[in-house]
Chain A
Amino acid sequence: MPRKIHIVCVSGTREKLQMAAMFASVAAACGDEVTVFFSMNALPYFVKGHKGEAPAEGEFGALVTQKGVPPFKQLFQQAVELGDAKLLPCSMAIDLLKLKKDDLDPEMGPPTGLTGFLTESEGGQLLTF
């Protein structure tokens, strides 16, 4: 039985998004069922055309911009391509930002509400960033 890993991204800072993306990509590539829920300040990075430039937050956030560190958007994309991870945008955040599903990157799955996410994540591990 694959493990179920659920990741909640609400912060818009680079070091948190980077760590979440590392967990998502490695877990998905190892065969775990990975679901990532994006809300609050984390969602705008996944609007089409956003380059993923986020404020560092701390010293590590600055370090991970150096050459050779895979950017978080690339890692989330690999989580989908290599491990069938599901990336779910929060329906409330989409409404507040006045966006439509088509405004988001193609890797993003259907807009999802908290009830749906809580139901889906029951019994699995939940990591919050």
Chain B
Amino acid sequence: MSEIKTIDARNTFCPGPLMELITYMKQASVGDTLELLSTDDGSATDVPMWVKKCGHEMIGSEKKGEVWHLTVRKAK
């Protein structure tokens, strides 16, 4: 299993966290798992919608304190 890469987009505003995730997703290989850290509540709805639209896989979505941990697997 490949290692999880964490993208720290805390304290950036929409669409900063989503664009950060997409930048890293483009560079990642199929099967890689990425964890996005975001303090923007909008990310919790925007990121899963983008993941679904682009055919990737949402692994987890959890808010720990003020920070959303959104875990995504690159599927194609």
Contacts and interface: CB of A to CB of B under 8 A. Distances in A.
B29 interface: no
Contacts of A22: 14-15
A69 B12 contact: yes
A10 interface: no
Given A30-B50, A82-B26, A25 B19 contact: yes
Nearest to B9: A68
Contact-size category for A: 10 to 19
A39 interface: no
A25 B46 CA distance: 13
Q: What's the dominant secondary structure at chain B's contact region? A: helix
Contact of B23 (A26, A30, A78): A78
Contacts of B53: 30-31
Interface residues of B, number: 15
Given A30-B50, A30-B53, A31-B53, A67 B19 contact: no
Contacts of B50: 29-30
A25 B13 CA distance: 14
B15 A70 contact: yes
Interface centre among A67, A70, A75 (most CB of B within 10 A): A70
Given A29-B19, A70-B13, A82-B22, 18 more contacts: A26-B15, A26-B18, A26-B46, A30-B50, A31-B54, A67-B11, A68-B13, A68-B16, A69-B13, A70-B15, A70-B16, A70-B19, A75-B15, A75-B19, A78-B19, A78-B22, A78-B23, A82-B19
Interface of A: 22, 25-26, 29-31, 67-70, 75, 78, 82
Interface of B: 11-16, 18-19, 22-23, 26, 46, 50, 53-54
17 contacts: A25-B15, A26-B18, A29-B50, A30-B53, A30-B54, A31-B54, A67-B11, A68-B11, A68-B12, A68-B16, A69-B12, A69-B16, A70-B12, A78-B23, A82-B19, A82-B22, A82-B23
